[in-house]
Amino acid sequence: MVRVNYKLLASAFIVLVVLFGLYNISMVNSTGIPKDVPSGAEVATFAGGCFWCIEAALQDIEGVHSAISGYTGGEVKNPTYELVVSGLTDHVEAVQVYYNPEKVKYSKLVDEFLYSIDPTDDGGQFSDRGVNYLTAIFYHDENQKEVAQKALNGLASSSLYDKPIKTKLLEVKKFYKAEEDHQDYYLKDPTKYKKYYKGSGREAFVNIIKETKKINDERNIGLTPYQYYITQKGGTERPFDNEFWDNKEPGIYVDIVSGEPLFSSVDKYDSKTGWPSFTKPLNEDEIVESVDNKLIVPRTKIESKEGTDLGHVFNDGPVETGGERYCINSASLRFIHKDNLESEGYGNYLELFND
């Protein structure tokens, strides 16, 4: 019969625990910064829902030395993933970023973070729900606090979101590194990560926000993501649920992107379709036609000369005006009342309303 030496087993277990602890300690220097990070590095901490996604968004920015997934914000010491996702702690999933301030500014990290999340969601992030997925910027000093607050104020005043900004600005608390299988997950299992990133809804949201911001910055305009989707991605508004379908005020309609005059209220009529309808454009040279084969029956798609997707033209319009119906998305247009034409630089169109 084999006798088990429990004292020996217990001693071996203690040794393993000590060795494991020493291994973990050896990975971090006395300041708590990972050993592979050079001196002079600064640290930033962000919570944006699933830490896999935030780590992936920030890790490869030039000047970033390391992005570490972990937990912060609560009082429970040494939390585990299972404990945090249970919602029984005040911890959130977060990422701590070590970076070279000579190569990348803190403001750049803040912007990249904010455009990788939905800052209007106070119930979680995308398909991940719960307090452990709330968003926050944890500032390490007063300068970071000031920079982060300015960025949040900028989001609140932009056209990108139609709901209040809910991302919190909090003083940093102790950060606990997450389990090793959560570190660099987007690199360890890219197939599963990409499937999650897309399936959660984050990918589509982040892409359209970034694309909308890009065109707004380039053209100095203020499109909403919805307007971007309609004008640049060929989307179609719902009938009877758009801004101008029943607008009867006198004025002109211009390209929301370029400001080019396109249609007049003089030529607008109620087509009973639920979309703004016109019998003709102000200037046919500003309209570009092409064949749209998205449906079974080909349709004639129309864009502005500047490339803004407007809608379609059909041959079921009023016979007395030529039989054409220009069916336009409200989101592609900006309406200028006749009383404001002069002040907005369209005074030469006032003659349309002399009668």
| Same-domain pairing of 196 and 61 | yes
Residues 6 or more apart whose CB falls under 8 angstroms from that of 290 comprise 300, 301, 302, 303
Average pLDDT over residues 130-145: 97
- 315, burial (CB in 10 Å: exposed 0-12, middle 13-18, buried 19+): exposed
CB 33 within 8 Å of CB 43:
yes
Is residue 152 assigned to a domain?
yes
Task: Find the CATH number of the domain harbouring 133.
Answer: 3.30.1060.10
Element of type H or E holding 199: helix 190-199
Average pLDDT over residues 100-121: 97
33 pLDDT band, cuts 50/70/90, is low
| Same-domain pairing of 173 and 285 | no
Task: Find the CATH number of the domain harbouring 331.
Answer: 2.170.150.20
Range of the domain at 115: 29-209
CB 288 within 8 Å of CB 303:
yes
Is residue 12 assigned to a domain?
no
Is residue 39 assigned to a domain?
yes
Question: Does residue 175 surpass a pLDDT of 80?
Answer: yes
Kindly provide the residue ranges of all beta strands, DSSP E only, lying in the chain, ordered along the sequence.
Answer: 42-48, 64-72, 92-99, 124-125, 128-129, 135-139, 168-171, 176-177, 251-255, 261-264, 268-269, 277-278, 287-292, 299-304, 309-314, 325-328, 333-337
Indicate which residues carry an active-site annotation. Answer: 50, 327
The alpha-carbon radius of gyration of the chain (Å, integer) is 28
| Same-domain pairing of 47 and 196 | yes
| Same-domain pairing of 166 and 88 | yes
Question: Does residue 18 surpass a pLDDT of 70?
Answer: no
| Same-domain pairing of 263 and 343 | yes
User: 178, 209, 240 — which closes off a domain?
Assistant: 209
Counted domains in the chain: 2
Is residue 78 assigned to a domain?
yes
Give me the chain's average pLDDT, please: 90
Average pLDDT over residues 257-265: 97
Is residue 339 assigned to a domain?
yes
| Span 97-106, pLDDT tens digits | 999 999 999 9
| Same-domain pairing of 154 and 256 | no
CB 205 within 8 Å of CB 116:
no
| Span 313-353, pLDDT tens digits | 999 999 999 999 999 999 999 999 999 999 999 999 999 99
Question: Does residue 264 surpass a pLDDT of 90?
Answer: yes
Is residue 73 assigned to a domain?
yes
| Span 268-297, pLDDT tens digits | 999 999 999 999 999 999 999 999 998 889
